[in-house]
Structure 1
Amino acid sequence: MFPTMKVQNERLQGVVATVKEHINYYEAVVNPVSIKFYFFDSDNPDFDRQFDELRKKIVPEGFIPFVVKDAEHYVEVSIRPDEKYKSNNVNVILLILTLASTIYVGSIYARSFVRPGTYAELYSLWYGFIFFSLPLMLILGIHETAHYVVARRYKVNASLPFFIPFPYEIGTFGAFVSLRDPMPNRKAMAEIGAAGPIAGFLVALPLLFLAQYLEKIYRPVGHYIPFILNYPLIYRLFGIVEPINKPLFPMVFAVWVGMFATALNLIPTGQLDGGHIARGILGKKAYIVSYLFLGFLFYLTIAYDYLGWLFLALFVIFMGLVHPPALNDYEKIRPLDIAIGIFSLVMFILTFTALPIKPP
């Protein structure tokens, strides 16, 4: 039997009716901002599935259910604040601008591989597109698309990728997908977080060997060396040694950027992909790892005199160092998710570079 309950608001009446369909509760308490439905575990033997079905129904209707298991167990349903989102036109415009900025930057590196002549500038732009912009955008695009696909599989509303143009050095500040719904559970949190880095890494890996092959075909005709790259462990693992006294082939640089972006995203702190994975697998204890890696970023800043780590640390702090919990933070994760976490750690070790770029 469900307790008798009168709610004047028609929308809330609908929520109460939906909760009744999925959760066996013994008491409901109404307050100005939410309704708490108290329940016993013994009355809900398949609670995780029941709650997830409830979430899928009421989140699109503008309500957020949240599980609390303390002295008493309850599901708290609150009204979701109205939010306005940009149209997909913004995504398209940013994509075009990022393509333009990466082609322009790639053409600068390509000039050392184009012989002077009437059409040298056009060839540089073409090389910048084929050998820099295309592979880099492919790695970043697949990364973000994987986040999007896995999020939608869990019925979590997500935006299309937002690319960030930056016509200097690498041509972009990367890309991101905006999750417009809260994470439903720790399993989804870990898998959505890991999907992007894994997909991007699996795309970058074959491009790594293709870049080495093409580098042997396209010989430099110039001497422009903007900086020297330090290569991560994965290069040494495959016996790849890049010369430091020759111009940088654009595709080699593009793949390097993709690998380094994988490592950055996998740092297990804050709202980074690695932070999602750590919070999903470790639960509440993930904040310890988050603080440790924040300290690690400050250490790298001082030890290697590289301000990029300081900017990343400040970004992590600004976005929120402690990851918020999932709606059902009590659902157990699967061995598969632990394996995903271990694979993500291996990817981080293989792609991380303490001092990525140094002067020539």
Structure 2
Amino acid sequence: MKQRRKGQENSDTEEMISRIYPYITRVFDIYEIQKSGEILYFFGTPKTDAENVMGELWAPLEQRGLGGTLKYELGEHVLIVTPVKKAKEKHWVNLALFIATVFTTMICGAWLFGVDLWSEPLQIFQGLPFTLAILAVLGSHEMAHYAMARHHGMKTSLPYFIPFPTFIGTMGAVIRYRGPIPDRKALFDVGIAGPLVGLLVSIVVTIIGLNLDVPAVKPLPDSLMFELGLPPLFVMLQKLVGVTGSNLHPVAFAGWVGMFVTLLNLLPAGQLDGGHVLRAMLGKKADWVSSMMPRILLMIGIYVVYGLKGDGFIWIFWALFLWAFAAAGHPSPLHDKMKLDRKRILIGILTFILGLLCFTLIPFKPIT
């Protein structure tokens, strides 16, 4: 029985090698193959730049449930191929966080409509329009990342919404990427999909909100009120609809939040969406821009505080955050030498322009 099982294992190994051998020999001259358990070791010499070997092999190995690493040890190159065990997704976590976020955003939405939930807890459902609007804005952003990542064969989780007692009831949503980035095209497409789709939904939500009557809200006792700074894109939509002022319907406010989130995500630093896009466009040259971004934000914050006598804490906070966030650098795609086509470069430039249209020096300030 043991002999038969060993023979079956050898047969499976030979079949696996025969399936991936043609792909490996395109970029790697093999002179020896060793096996240890489920791990295969291919000793040889790269036919191309060692940096791009895994770029060529990632897709065929991924399709067969395998992962690979190219190492240089004791004077020779070795390609290590191992089975990739799929992590079991705990979708109940995504669902639980989503339900909690619906609840927390509905509380904030009810507050925006002037509901005193301490005395009228059942009026929480008045916050539902805001909940639907804010989740559409934030959810579309992350689902665009998710769909594009899956399109490029990348492993990623479903969005995790983050319930949090902020003035919008959430800290947004995130998705987890597993495994390498295939090439600069995938990096660009995944990075830019979220901001573009999220901004488009924000524009739609804003237009809907601007066409709704602003509720007459009596400030609740001990509540903190804010005056919003409207970015150029929001003002353009106001002129299109024919309304003015910063007194907004909660649905329109959700659109404003979407624009602000788009701006922050498009900052070209670290592993923010803007950092992904710029890294794909410029390659390693983007590291310089990424390192400069915290300095620029710090100068903006100081100018707002001392020049405009306003609240520039948000920019100072993001400057400090990015100093730590961008310091780790950006992981290189497997196919890092593959340059983007002109169409993607143009889309990237236009997207950063749209991000600038979402910028305002003082996004919000408390009303005293």
Same-fold status (TM-score > 0.5): yes
Q: Tell me, yes or no, if structure 1 residue 88 matches structure 2 residue 91.
A: yes
Residue 355 of structure 1 is matched in structure 2 by: 362
CA shift for structure 1 position 176: 1.0
Deviation, 1:289, is: 1.1
Matches of 1:101 and 1:154, distance apart in 2: 34
CA distance in structure 1 between the partners assigned to 2:18 and 2:154 by the alignment: 22
Amino acid at match of 1:251: V
- 1:223/1:17 CA distance change after superposition, 3 Å: closer
Match of 2:148 in 1: 150
Q: Taking structure 1 as reference, are residues 16 and 249 closer, same or farther at Cα in structure 2, changes over 3 Å only? A: same
Contact 1:140 1:258 (8 Å CA) reproduced: yes
Counterpart residue number, 2:199: 201
Task: After TM superposition, give the deviation of residue 353 of structure 1 in Å.
Answer: 2.4
Q: 1:64 aligns with which of 57, 65, 68?
A: 68
- What SS does the aligned partner of 1:237 have? helix
Mark the CA change 1:64 to 1:314 in structure 2 (over 3 Å): closer, same or farther: farther
Other structure's SS at 2:279 match: helix
Q: Deviations over 1:246-304 (max 9, x none)?
A: 5x421121111111111111111101011110111111111011011121222233333
Distance across 2 between alignment mates of 1:311 and 1:105: 24
Bigger drift between 185-194 and 339-348 goes to 339-348
- State how far apart, in whole Å, the 2-side matches of 1:13 and 1:314 are: 53
- Per the normalisation by structure 1, the TM-score is 0.79
Look up the match of 1:222: 218
Residue 80 of structure 1: how far off its partner (Å): 8.4
Aligned-partner residue type, residue 97 of structure 1: A
Q: How does 1:53-202 map to 2 (within 5 A)?
A: 54-59=57-62, 61-64=65-68, 77=80, 87-111=90-114, 122-123=122-123, 125-130=124-129, 132-202=130-200
Q: Normalization by structure 2: what TM-score?
A: 0.78
Alignment partner, residue 262 of structure 2: 262
Aligned partners of 2:24, 2:320: CA distance in 1, in Å?
43
Distance in structure 1 (CA, Å) of the matches to 2:268 and 2:326: 13
Counterparts of 1:311 and 1:76 in 2: how far apart (Å)? Answer: 44
How far apart, in 1, do the equivalents of 2:156 and 2:57 lie?
19
Indicate the residue corresponding to 1:5 in structure 2. Answer: none
**One-letter code aligned to 1:295:** R
Q: Pick from 325, 331, 337: which aligns with 2:344?
A: 337
Shift in CA distance, 22/82, structure 1 to aligned 2, threshold 3 Å: closer
Unpaired runs of at least 5, structure 2: 1-9, 306-311
Q: Which moved more, 1:137-146 or 1:310-319?
A: 310-319
2:29 maps to what in 1? 27
Amino acid at match of 2:218: G
Question: Where do residues 209-288 of structure 1 align in structure 2 (5 Å cutoff)?
Answer: 209-214=207-212, 217-223=213-219, 226-240=225-239, 242-244=244-246, 246=247, 248-288=248-288
SS in 1 for 2:330: coil
Equivalent residues of 1:15, 1:58 under 8 A apart: no
Residues 45-56 of structure 1: matches in 2 within 5 Å? 54-56=57-59
Name the larger-Rg structure. Answer: 2
Distance 1:341 1:156, change over 3 A: same
Checking the alignment, whether the CA contact within 8 Å between 1:55 and 1:65 is kept in structure 2 is no
AA partner of residue 151 (structure 2): R
In structure 1, distance between residues paired with 2:295 and 2:31: 43
SS in 2 for 1:351: coil
Letter in 1 for 2:278: A
Moved more, 326-335 or 230-239: 230-239
Unaligned runs of 5+ in 1: 1-7, 43-47, 69-73
**Root mean square deviation of aligned Cα:** 3.5
Task: Give the SS at the match of 1:343.
Answer: helix
Show CA shifts across 1:301-343 (max 9, x none): 3333433334434443444442111011111212221122112
Q: Distance in 1 between matches of 2:146 and 2:26?
A: 33
Say yes or no: does 1:308 pair with 2:314. Answer: yes
Letter in 1 for 2:345: I
Within a 5 Å distance, the mapping from 1:285-296 to structure 2 comes to: 285-296=285-296
Compare 328-337 and 133-142 and name the one that shifted more. Answer: 328-337
Structure 1 pair 293/221, CA: closer, same or farther in 2 (3 Å)?
closer
- In structure 2, the partner of 1:346 is 353
1:181 deviates by 2.1
The CA deviation at 1:61 is 2.9
